[in-house]
Structure 1
Amino acid sequence: MTTSPAVAQEFVAFAVEAGVLRFGEFKTKAGRLSPYFFNAGLFDDGAKLGRLAQFYAQTLIASGLQFDMIFGPAYKGITLAAAVAMELARMGRNVPYAYNRKEAKDHGEGGTLVGAPVKGRVLIIDDVISAGTSVRESIAMIQAAGATPCGVTIALDRQEKAAEGGVDKPWSAVQYVTRELGLPVVPIATLTDLLQYLRSGSNSALGEHVERVDAYRQRYGI
């Protein structure tokens, strides 16, 4: 699924201004030297989180994806699920949300799931999909609760080849989730959108990074 080009460009600009999307040289989990880094943990105040939630909510509504509730995998997904549920309610689409604990609680209500009962069509929300591990774990928890995973929404699709054991695969983590796990993925923006933003000249200070980001995509992109 694709996002509105205008919304995607606005989101990339916002991520740059918020210091969440940075350029330089960063080592990824796959051991690659990436010319950019997206750290959703830096949406770290009320204004930034609220704006992020608006982008998620706008993207989800525009996608037409049908879901009954939101599930946020620990840890980043917890804050995202809560914030997006609030924004959707503000926009007239009130849905429940739930999340998981990393360790089961053996007192009180117990268990690993917190929040609304997990049932119906469940949308998983996260910042990015690096290897699909978090999505697989979320699917297992949702299905164990008797509900149906119906899709995943993320902030940025890196459109980058997955790597296992140091070997590049001919598919991305997002493609893996779509093809192998059978779930549609709804990103707010993609690496294509990021490159378009850099090439647009709307932020002249970032023009020097176009070639490096493009070269990285030529090498590792899908």
Structure 2
Amino acid sequence: MAQLEEKVRSFAEELFKIGAIKIGEYVTKMNIPTPIYIDLRLIVSFPKLIELVSDIMIEYLKQIPKFDIICGVPYAALPLASALSMKLNIPMVMRRKESKSYGMRKMIEGVYKEGDRCLIIEDVVTSGSSIIETLEDLNEVGIHCSHALILMDRQQGGTNNLIKEGVTMHSLLNMTHLLKYLREANYIDDSTVNKVTNYMLTTQVDLSSNSIPSLNRLKLPYEERIAYAKNNRAQELFKIMSEKRTNLCVAADVTKSDELISLANQTGPYICLFKTHIDILEDFNIDVVEALKKIAEKHNFLLFEDRKFSDIGKTVQMQYSNGMYKILSWANVVTAHSLAGAGMLDAIKHGNNGVFLLAEISTSGSIIDKNYTEKTVKLALQYPDLVTGIVCQNPLFTSEPGFIQLTPGVQLDVEGDGLGQKYNTPDVVIGNGADIAVVGRGITKSSEPNVAAEKYRSLLWGAYLKRIE
């Protein structure tokens, strides 16, 4: 046992050395603020560490009843499950996070039979919700699971939550032992130990009582939401919005380059986003976007091409990167339909840019239904590092403060344009969850766009302050 404990101690210290354990202010998957963040996905880049941890796992298996197959919780635990499967020569199955849209649409991949006993492998457990989701999909195909082997137990309720589901959790490390080992190695001090220990005791998650701490983005100030955003452009937008005190996006639907540049100059001081349909310009040339980039830098706003990508991945990739508009080279964020699925998003995942996915539109008679909207939000949650936010009319994701709700169709004292476009007032759209409101003709058709932009900025910001208060 002493030899096993030394291996576990060594494992804990190695995790700290590779940066898999971070001390600071972070947020867990459950949207719970935490003074310690544990990212065991980094292990995949250290073969010797995988070797060490798989050896420790094999030692722990001596206290676990016999099993027929192994399943790693997607995605962080998959390398661990694979290593264990190969070392023990025991088959592995793989659970998908979403079913395929083609073929047999299975959630569980691999060879198995009804009645197989499965050991679930996970990296870090807070509430145990990811293991429970995996358990449900395995049970659905007749696979039985009563034990889970995990690397790190954060000691925040996961053990009890899993017991209620009939699963016994076995952990290589828990937070108490991790803090002990790191303190003895002088990687952390006593104040850190006390802070994290107190945090563990006061932040317990009971899934059965619906007591999961939840953050309502509608009540959080923009500056506080920066920490929750995984997409760089979302972080940048929150920062701009806070500093400039604006949640206004102008829709620059004009057909002449000079008019577009003039509009950017006049409205720039009052906006966070400048939205274009670059392909409606009758006199487009690449100098136009170079001018826009300089104006955006001067007035501190982002360029937003409302391209609404929706095609197979390769076509979207060429539309985004190539052609006369070269959108990738200048647009900070773009729009896309979710219709083409994950392949389309993979095709436009470049650099620091962001995507707004369209879940709802402000046109009467739209055939977008509730099912499409829900699937769009679900797809966005699978790409938090790429998706800046969601275009919608209603608060579809109140517990995801890192995403931005962008709502078009804002205008004062006008109900529609006779072509299906419906308009709402600033108070209505902000009250319905908009973080950024898009104003088009209310500004572009004004004789003084700068004055109109300042008016909308003031009204929208006032509505936002009212909402968070």
Q: Given the alignment of the two structures, is residue 198 of structure 1 paired with residue 194 of structure 2, yes or no?
A: no
Q: Given the alignment of the two structures, is residue 96 of structure 1 paired with residue 80 of structure 2, yes or no?
A: no
Structure 2 equivalent of residue 37 of structure 1: 37
Identity %: 25
Question: What amino acid does structure 2 have at the position aligned with 1:154?
Answer: I
Give the Cα–Cα distance (whole angstroms) in 2 for the partners of residues 96 and 108 of structure 1.
23
* Cα distance change of structure 1 residues 109 and 8 upon mapping to structure 2, 3 Å threshold: same
The counterpart of 2:155, out of the listed 159, 183, 189, is 159
- Measured after TM superposition, the shift of residue 145 of structure 1 is 2.0
Residue deviations 1:73-123, cap 9 Å, x none?
32223222212212xx3xxx3211101223333555652222231552111
- Measured after TM superposition, the shift of residue 23 of structure 1 is 1.6
Q: How does 1:30-109 map to 2 (within 5 A)?
A: 30-45=30-45, 46-61=47-62, 63-86=63-86, 89=87, 93-105=88-100, 107=102
The answer to whether the Cα contact below 8 Å between 1:11 and 1:188 also exists between their aligned partners in 2 is: no
Question: What amino acid does structure 1 have at the position aligned with 2:8?
Answer: A
Larger Rg: 2
Residue deviations 1:6-56, cap 9 Å, x none?
443232112112221122222234444322111011113233333332332
Residue deviations 1:104-154, cap 9 Å, x none?
335556522222315521111111223333222222222222221121111
Structure 1 counterpart SS, 2:188: helix
Structure 1 equivalent of residue 171 of structure 2: 187
Which ranges of structure 2 fall in alignment gaps of 5 or more residues?
206-469
- The structure, 1 or 2, with the larger RCO (C-alpha pairs under 8 Å, 6+ apart) is 1
The answer to whether the Cα contact below 8 Å between 1:198 and 1:210 also exists between their aligned partners in 2 is: no
Give the Cα–Cα distance (whole angstroms) in 2 for the partners of residues 177 and 148 of structure 1.
14
The answer to whether the Cα contact below 8 Å between 1:85 and 1:97 also exists between their aligned partners in 2 is: yes
- Measured after TM superposition, the shift of residue 70 of structure 1 is 0.5
Q: Given the alignment of the two structures, is residue 128 of structure 1 paired with residue 130 of structure 2, yes or no?
A: no
Residue deviations 1:171-210, cap 9 Å, x none?
x0221102x111110111001101221342x2x2422522
Structure 2 equivalent of residue 115 of structure 1: 110
Question: What amino acid does structure 2 have at the position aligned with 1:82?
Answer: S
Give the Cα–Cα distance (whole angstroms) in 2 for the partners of residues 189 and 112 of structure 1.
30
Give the Cα–Cα distance (whole angstroms) in 2 for the partners of residues 192 and 42 of structure 1.
22
The counterpart of 1:140, out of the listed 136, 139, 147, is 136
The answer to whether the Cα contact below 8 Å between 1:77 and 1:99 also exists between their aligned partners in 2 is: no
Structure 2 counterpart SS, 1:175: helix
For structure 1, which segment, 137-146 or 180-189, has the greater mean C-alpha deviation from structure 2 after superposition? 137-146
* Cα distance change of structure 1 residues 79 and 109 upon mapping to structure 2, 3 Å threshold: farther
* Cα distance change of structure 1 residues 31 and 71 upon mapping to structure 2, 3 Å threshold: closer
TM-score by length of 1: 0.77
* Cα distance change of structure 1 residues 26 and 206 upon mapping to structure 2, 3 Å threshold: same
Structure 1 counterpart SS, 2:98: strand
Give the Cα–Cα distance (whole angstroms) in 2 for the partners of residues 205 and 110 of structure 1.
47
Moved beyond 4 Å, runs of 4+: 106-110
Give the Cα–Cα distance (whole angstroms) in 2 for the partners of residues 102 and 38 of structure 1.
21
Structure 2 counterpart SS, 1:159: coil
Q: How many residues align?
A: 199
Structure 1 equivalent of residue 199 of structure 2: 216
Give the Cα–Cα distance (whole angstroms) in 2 for the partners of residues 110 and 213 of structure 1.
43
Give the Cα–Cα distance (whole angstroms) in 1 for the partners of residues 179 and 73 of structure 2.
29
Question: What amino acid does structure 2 have at the position aligned with 1:130?
Answer: T
Structure 2 counterpart SS, 1:212: helix
RMSD: 2.5
